[in-house]
Amino acid sequence: MRRLSKYEYQCTIRDLLGITIPLGDTFPGDNVSQGFDNLADALAISPVHMDGYLAAAETILKAAIVVGEPPPPPKQSRGGTHGLQPGVARGRDNQGRLTTSPDGQPLDGKSRVPALPGDGWRLHCEKGPLEANLQDLVDPGDYKVVARLQGYKVGKEAPKFALLVNGKEVFQGVGSDMAEEHVVPLQLNPGKMRIGVSLLTEDADPTDPRNKSGIIVYHLALIGPMMPVMHAALLAAPKELEGDAKSRHVIERFASRAYRRPAAKAEVDRLMEIVKRAEQVGQYRLREEDWKKLSTSKAVPEDVLKDMRSLTRDSKRFEERSVFVARLTEFLGPERTQAHLDTILKTADTAKRPWEAAIALAMRAAICSPHFLFRVEPETPAEGTGPQPIDDFALASRLSYFLWSSMPDAELFALAAKRQLHQNLPAQVQRMLADPRSKALVENFATQWLNLQALSAFDPDPKVFPEFKAVGTNSSKKWPVLRDAMLTETQLFLHALMSENRSILEIVDSDYTFLNRQLGQHYNIRDTNGNPYRDSAGREITNPDNPGDPLPEYPFVRVRLTGASRGGLLTQASVLSLTSTPSRTSLVRRGAWILDRILGTPPPPPPPNVPPLEAGTKEDPKAGLKSLRQQVELHRARADCATCHARIDPIGFAFEHFDAIGRYRDTIGKEPIDVQAELPNGRKFNGVKELKKILLEQKRGFARSLSEKTLTYAIGRKLEYYDILAMDEVLAKVEKGDYRFHTLVTAIVESDPFRMRQN
């Protein structure tokens, strides 16, 4: 049994309730063990966590289920031609915006307003319908088409019109002499969306341009959804169910999904008690804002106000953000409560939906339950004392939290209910890796495995690297845009490797990456074929031999790296930066990172009282300090440093052609860079290209390291001696499967540590 991590909790709430909630400081950060924050021995729980869960549950259920007035719905609209002359309304640019003001003066880009496509002022029958494309709908639900129209008639007959949604009529009406608003409620599904107006009246004399009826469109909008998308889904029940039967159906379905297994009768009974009690007092349920409003109301007797103000000041009474009559009775006494209840209810805005409020309260209790907050795996009937297969529902959770960091979906639940998941694991792995939710493997697993979260704290010295700050700042994240681009490259690279079932060896070296224009300039890469802007002498290359498409500002595109100094993960700017210091490169950090994260053989911590390398040594040749190689030799001269530095330093030297923010360089100042090195086994190499070849010659070691880290993350515990045999079997399958990523994942989920537990 272990608690959901902060990331897992957020993903699970998203898939259970359709709510994406930024947790921020609601919960404390999770502890890390073996490099990951999802291991059972590190996932402690404290009173601070419980306070956070209670507060988050309230916020989440308020967003998912409406118990009062619906929140203001989002609106998509196309401005009409209200207040504009016919001639002006026809003056539009290629983006559908008006280009001239009512007095005929041109409008600049900032002042232009959107206009409907088509004629834009008077819609004539021969022109066809006047339609506007809106953004694609993401959420199904109840919507409203709102149109403010005015008829323009020739003769006695007022023009008839129709409102259109995706070319189909949803309303017919008659245009009056005065502008009128027409509101059409309807249910819509996700997809493309086009709304419009069509004129139904034929002209009295089609040959006479003066005899044309029309409709003036002042405003046309689509508003909705009118309720949160999950409101209807969470409360849905068969029409024949009513009362307690309906409530039980809703609660049992929700609890089974929240607990990630069929909810027991006793568990549903406890939640139903909450529903029944809440329904009994629901008609008297008052929100906090009601109390605050009542505390200044002249309609409430002064003696009641006095007690209510006391209640309002008592912050401990507002932990649920709502007050029941029982709380009022506690302050006023039963006699006075009943006497003043009618006055209060007449004044207050009480809960509009007591049944919904009661259901929401029970759901809130469910997501504060240990059955939701913890991944509980029931013991299976023991057959001997050895490991036993976990049941299908526990296996579904292991699988979904491994690949999605979230709860199982409907297909996994269905297979578990039929006890067919164990024999369908390979097919489910393929399906789940193709699902967008598998991006959690990059965001959660790979980020922690590679320590990419450290990039957010990397802040280069602006005196040494002024260009890092000069690229601008992302207003939403308050950090340099270049750092964003570095992280995006790595995430896209890893996602492509995983989703396209590429070889895990491409992490060491590959012939492609993902760049935008900004990062391409940083790398001296100008197009999708990897051509440089400048040659090694700094001369601009104007006509590449094999030109590719120019790199866009956005989005990132796949770029060939044939013959380039880069390739794979090790030479990406994200890794090169997070393994540097703010003012210079660090061969010790880079070498130790490769040993730990790639080869799985981390060096021990340095002994105490070892002086660091002198800052600025290689970045500032004029400083008169010892060369970097000389300083390293001094470190290795110490007996307690020599063994580790013999492993670390050669690897670190290989990356010295890349500076602290990941740019390639041949010299520092005017001094050439020496990247020759020798491994402890006597193997010599020159630079990162030759180091990659050596690493790929030892691909079994890298594959085992990645397999061990992936299995550790997948099962949420440290690997033990009894896992060695299973690890050997996983590695054999990976080698046989040409080191493909999907082979690695399938081998792990079919392994005994993943499918079994010790009773």
Query: Are residues 219 and 133 both part of a single domain?
Result: yes
pTM for this prediction:
0.76
Under a CB-based contact definition with an 8 Å cutoff, are residues 45 and 438 in contact?
A: no
Q: Quick check: is 111 in a domain?
A: yes
Q: Quick check: is 498 in a domain?
A: yes
Exposure pattern of 77-87 as b/e (b: 16+ CB <10 Å)? ebbbbeebeee
Q: Quick check: is 720 in a domain?
A: yes
Selected residue with higher pLDDT from 618 and 288: 288
Q: What is the pLDDT of residue 679?
A: 94
Q: What is the pLDDT of residue 671?
A: 86
300-306 average pLDDT score: 64
Give the domain-ending residue among 226, 247, 270: 226
Residue 659 in this model has a pLDDT that exceeds 90: yes
Highest mean pLDDT: which range of 75-79, 310-314, 632-636:
632-636
Q: Model confidence over 602-620: pLDDT tens digits?
A: 998 877 776 665 544 444 4
Query: Are residues 597 and 566 both part of a single domain?
Result: no
Banded model confidence at residue 183, pLDDT cuts 50, 70, 90: very high
Distance, CA of 404 to CA of 31 (rounded, Å): 20
Q: What is the pLDDT of residue 212?
A: 63
256-284 average pLDDT score: 85
Q: What is the pLDDT of residue 658?
A: 96
On average, the pLDDT of the chain sits at 81
Query: Are residues 663 and 750 both part of a single domain?
Result: no
What's the token pair of residue 204? Answer: 């009295």
396-419 average pLDDT score: 97
**All residues at 6 or more sequence positions from 730 whose CB lies less than 8 Å from its CB, including other chains:** 707, 711, 744, 747, 748, 751
496-523 average pLDDT score: 96
Banded model confidence at residue 220, pLDDT cuts 50, 70, 90: confident
Q: Quick check: is 291 in a domain?
A: no
Banded model confidence at residue 198, pLDDT cuts 50, 70, 90: confident
The count of domains in the chain is 4
Residue 271 in this model has a pLDDT that exceeds 90: yes
Place of tokens 């959901």: 4
Distance, CA of 200 to CA of 638 (rounded, Å): 93
211-240 average pLDDT score: 80
103-120 average pLDDT score: 42
CATH number of the domain encompassing residue 216: 2.60.120.260
Query: Are residues 541 and 585 both part of a single domain?
Result: no
Q: What is the pLDDT of residue 17?
A: 92
Banded model confidence at residue 746, pLDDT cuts 50, 70, 90: very high
Q: Quick check: is 367 in a domain?
A: no
DSSP letter at 453 equals G
Q: What is the pLDDT of residue 399?
A: 98
Which residue, among 244, 165, 235, has the nearest Cα to 197 in the 3D structure?
Answer: 165
Three-state DSSP class for 537? coil
Query: Are residues 680 and 741 both part of a single domain?
Result: no
Domain extent at residue 181: 75-226
Under a CB-based contact definition with an 8 Å cutoff, are residues 649 and 632 in contact?
A: yes
Residues written for the chain: 759
Q: Quick check: is 292 in a domain?
A: no
Q: What is the pLDDT of residue 260?
A: 97
Q: What is the pLDDT of residue 545?
A: 82
Q: What is the pLDDT of residue 612?
A: 62
Banded model confidence at residue 33, pLDDT cuts 50, 70, 90: very high
Three-state DSSP class for 740? strand
Q: What is the pLDDT of residue 111?
A: 38
Q: What is the pLDDT of residue 211?
A: 58
Share of the chain above pLDDT 70, in %: 74
Q: What is the pLDDT of residue 86?
A: 40
Residue 322 in this model has a pLDDT that exceeds 80: no
Give the domain-ending residue among 672, 697, 722: 697
Q: What is the pLDDT of residue 247?
A: 96
- Mean pLDDT is lowest, of 145-154, 692-701, 744-753, for 145-154
Q: What is the pLDDT of residue 128?
A: 62
Three-state DSSP class for 292? helix
Banded model confidence at residue 93, pLDDT cuts 50, 70, 90: very low
Q: Quick check: is 418 in a domain?
A: no
Query: Are residues 691 and 706 both part of a single domain?
Result: no
69-86 average pLDDT score: 56
Distance, CA of 405 to CA of 713 (rounded, Å): 11
Residue 713 in this model has a pLDDT that exceeds 60: yes
Which residue, among 253, 287, 257, has the nearest Cα to 357 in the 3D structure?
Answer: 287
Q: What is the pLDDT of residue 383?
A: 63
Q: What is the pLDDT of residue 558?
A: 97
Find the distance separating the first CA and the last CA of the chain, reported in whole Å.
13
590-594 average pLDDT score: 96
What's the token pair of residue 381? Answer: 């009937």
Query: Are residues 204 and 97 both part of a single domain?
Result: yes
Give the 3-state secondary structure of 202-258. CCCCCCCCCCCCEEEEEEEEEECCCCCHHHHHHHCCCCCCCHHHHHHHHHHHHHHHH
Burial class (CB in 10 A: 0-12, 13-18, 19+), 423: exposed
Under a CB-based contact definition with an 8 Å cutoff, are residues 493 and 504 in contact?
A: no
Under a CB-based contact definition with an 8 Å cutoff, are residues 733 and 727 in contact?
A: no
Query: Are residues 566 and 690 both part of a single domain?
Result: no
Distance, CA of 289 to CA of 58 (rounded, Å): 16
Distance, CA of 341 to CA of 744 (rounded, Å): 66
Query: Are residues 561 and 587 both part of a single domain?
Result: no
Largest alpha-carbon pair distance within the chain?
A: 106
Banded model confidence at residue 190, pLDDT cuts 50, 70, 90: confident
Q: What is the pLDDT of residue 619?
A: 47
Query: Are residues 456 and 597 both part of a single domain?
Result: no
Selected residue with higher pLDDT from 363 and 668: 363
339-359 average pLDDT score: 60
78: Cα separation from own chain's centroid:
30
713-724 average pLDDT score: 95
Query: Are residues 608 and 745 both part of a single domain?
Result: no
Q: Model confidence over 466-506: pLDDT tens digits?
A: 877 655 555 444 456 889 999 999 999 999 999 999 999 99
Q: What is the pLDDT of residue 511?
A: 96
Q: What is the pLDDT of residue 627?
A: 66
Q: Quick check: is 312 in a domain?
A: no
Residue 579 in this model has a pLDDT that exceeds 90: yes
Selected residue with higher pLDDT from 726 and 543: 726
Exposure pattern of 629-667 as b/e (b: 16+ CB <10 Å)? bebbeebbeeeebeebbebbbbbbbbbbbbbbbbebeee
Query: Are residues 111 and 168 both part of a single domain?
Result: yes
Residue 341, amino acid: L
Three-state DSSP class for 49? helix
Q: What is the pLDDT of residue 321?
A: 32
Give the domain-ending residue among 661, 679, 697: 697
